[in-house]
Structure 1
Amino acid sequence: FILEHFGCHPPLKIPHPAVFSPEKVPEKLDAIVIGSGIGGLAAAVLLAKVGRRVLVLEQHGRLGGCCHAFSEKGFEFDTGIHYVGQLHDGSLWRFLVDQLTDGQLEWAPIPPTFDAVVLGEPGRDKAIQLCTGARTYFNRLKEQFPGEEAAIDEFKRLVKVMGVTTGFWVLGVLKLLPLPLVQLLSRSGLLSLLSPFCRMNSRSVKDVVDGLTTNAKLRAVFSYIFPTYGIVPGCWGTLLIFSCPFFSLSLPFSSLTLFLLSLA
Structure 2
Amino acid sequence: MNNAILSYKQHPEAILQPYDAVVIGSGIGGLSAAAILAKEGRKVLVLERHYTAGGFTHSFTRRGYEWDVGIHYLGEVHRPHTELANWFNYISDGQLQWADMGEVYDKIIFGQEVFEFHKGKDNFISHLQQQFPAAADQQAIEDYVALLYEITRSARLYFAEKALPGAVSWALGGLLRRKFLHLASKTTLQVLQSITNNPKLIGVLTGQYGDYGLTPAKSSFAIHAMVAKHFLNGGSFPVGGCSRIAQTTAQVIAKAGGCVLTNAEVKEIIIHNGTAAGVRLADGAEIRCPLVISNAGIMNTYSRLLPPDVAAGYGLNTQVQQVQPSVGHIGLYLGFKKTAEELGLGKANYWIYPENGYDHDANLNNYLQNPDEAPFPLTFISFPSAKDPDWQNRYPGTATIDIITVAPYQWFANWQNTRWKKRGQDYETWKEQISQRLLQVLYQYEPQLQQHLDYHELSTPLSTQHFSNYAFGELYGIDHTPQRFGLKFLRPQTAIKNLYLSGQDVVSAGIGGALTGGVLAASAILKRDMTAKIRREVQALKQ
**Alpha-carbon distance, 1:196 to partner:** 2.0
CA deviation after TM superposition for structure 1 residue 176, in Å: 0.9
Aligned to 1:35: 25
Contact 1:33 1:44 in 2 (8 A): yes
Does 2:215 align with 1:232? yes
How many residues end up aligned between the 2 structures? Answer: 243
Q: CA offset at residue 179 of structure 1?
A: 6.2
Aligned AA (2:99): A
Q: Is the 8 A contact 1:38 1:64 kept in 2?
A: yes
In the aligned structure 1, how far is the partner of 2:33 from the partner of 2:105?
30
- Amino acid in the other structure paired with 1:37: G
Gaps of 5+ in 2: 235-510, 528-543
Q: Deviations over 1:67-121 (max 9, x none)?
A: 11235799743222212225234555433322111121222222111111012x2
**Structure-2 change in CA distance of 1:157 and 1:89 (3 Å):** closer
Q: 1:262 is matched with which residue?
A: 525
- RCO (CA 8 Å, sep 6+): is it higher in 1 or 2? 2
* TM-score calculated relative to the size of structure 2: 0.40
1:141 and 2:131 are equivalent in the alignment? no
Pair 1:259–1:180, CA change in 2 (3 A): closer
**Structure 1 residues 191 and 41: alpha-carbon distance in aligned structure 2, compared to 1, 3 A threshold:** same
The CA deviation at 1:174 is 4.4
**1:105 maps to what in 2?**
96
SS at structure 1 position matched to 2:117: strand
Whether the 8 Å contact between 2:26 and 2:55 is mirrored in structure 1 is yes
Q: Which moved more, 1:43-52 or 1:204-213?
A: 204-213
Residue 159 and residue 18 in structure 1: after superposition, are their counterparts in 2 closer, same or farther (change >3 A)? farther
State TM-score, norm by structure 1.
Answer: 0.76
Note if 1:167 corresponds to 2:159.
no
Partner of 2:512: 250
CA–CA distance in 1 between the matches of 2:155 and 2:82? 19
Aligned mates of 1:116, 1:150 — CA distance in 2: 22
Structure 1 stretches of 5 or more lacking a match?
A: 1-7
- Return the offset for 1:173: 2.2
- Please name the residue that 2:113 is paired with: 126
CA contact (8 A) 2:162 2:520 kept: no
Relative to structure 1, is the Cα distance of residues 51 and 203 closer, same or farther in structure 2, using a 3 angstrom cutoff? same
User: 1:228–1:93: structure 2 CA closer, same or farther, 3 Å change rule?
Assistant: closer
More strand by share: 2
Q: C-alpha root-mean-square deviation of aligned residues, in Å?
A: 3.5
Alpha-carbon contact 1:168-1:257 (below 8 Å) kept:
no
Distance 1:68 1:127 in 2: 31
Measure, in 1, the Cα distance between the counterparts of 2:169 and 2:31.
31
CA distance in 2, matches of 1:75, 1:88: 30
Cα distance 1:161–1:258, how it changes in 2: closer, same or farther (>3 A)? farther
Q: Does 1:114 pair with 2:99?
A: no
1:80 is matched with which residue?
A: 70
3-state DSSP of counterpart to 2:97: strand
Q: Residue 159 of structure 1 aligns to which amino acid in structure 2?
A: L
- Give the Cα separation in 2 of the matches to 1:145 and 1:233: 20
- Hey, what's the Cα distance between the residues in 2 that align with 1:86 and 1:55? 27
Work out the percentage of aligned pairs sharing the same amino acid. Answer: 26
